[in-house]
Amino acid sequence: MALRTLRLMGDDILRKTAKPVTEITPKILALLDDMAETMAEKNGVGLAAPQIGILKRIVIIDLNDELIELINPEIVETEGTQEKSEGCLSLPGKSGLVVRPLWTKVRALNRHGEEIFVEGEEYMSIALNHELDHLDGILYIDKVIEMDPDDEDDEGDEE
């Protein structure tokens, strides 16, 4: 495993659409491992491959010490709405209020190529939507309804 360099706001790759994974190779498995190590090092909750410069449709989320790996994820169903503050590892020290679904269901492949479904409400729903947006070049600031006061000195978790 290896730490990868995070791409920050202003890097063009964050605005590009990621390509589907066509085959789960040892290189893809190593990427998943590197993403988990990088996210943990940065105290993140989620990480999408474009955030480390890889235009592949891969996302990881770690809530409650349960690492979820999603390859070629798609949102298949959502319900309700919620307004919560979000941050992002690619926009350190910034956060803002975003409207997201209260509940989200995602279909994806796991690292073994098996189809899985992940459902989440509240914070997990936010994380799923936030990370999948990255795969289409969308950042949370594109959806922000109000920026939070500058909190660059906070050490809290960011997605």
Residue 77's φ and ψ, nearest 5 degrees, are -165, 145
Q: Which sign, positive or negative, has the C-alpha torsion 37, 42, 48, 51?
A: negative
Residues designated catalytic: 131
**Nearest of 45, 35, 8 to residue 156 by alpha carbon:** 45
The set of residues, in sequence order, having a beta carbon less than 8 Å from that of 85 and lying 6+ positions away, is: 95, 96, 97, 98, 148
Number of CB atoms found within 10 A of residue 19's CB: 13
Does residue 66 sit in helix, strand or coil? strand
